[in-house]
Structure 1
Amino acid sequence: KDSYGMLDILLKMKARAPVDFELVAVNLDQKQPGFPDHILPAYLKELGVEFHIETQDTYSIVKDKIPEGKTMCSLCSRLRRGILYRVARELKCNKLALGHHRDDILQTFFLNMFFGGKLKGMPPKLVSDNGEFMVIRPLAYVAESDLIRWAAHRQFPIIPCTLCGSQENLQRLQVGNMLREWQKKHPGRIENMFAALQNVVPSHLMDAQLHGFKDLKITGIESDDGDKAFDEEEFKEASLPGIQVISM
Structure 2
Amino acid sequence: MTQRRETQPGEVCLLDAFPQLTAELETAEAERARGELMVRVERVPAGAWRPPASPAAGPIDLGLLLIDGLLARHVLVADTRATELIGRGDLLRPSDHEGEDAPVPFGVAWTVLEPLTVAVLDAEVTEAACRWPQLIVAIVKAAVGRSFSLADHFALSHLRRVDDRLMVMFWHFADRWGSVRPEGVVVPLRLTHEMLGEIIGAQRPSVTTALGQIEAAGRISRRREGGWVLHGEPPQRLQTTDEGAAK
Output the TM-score relative to the length of structure 1: 0.27
Of Structure 1 and Structure 2, the greater helix share is in 1
User: Which structure has the larger Rg over C-alpha atoms?
Assistant: 1
Of Structure 1 and Structure 2, the greater strand share is in 2
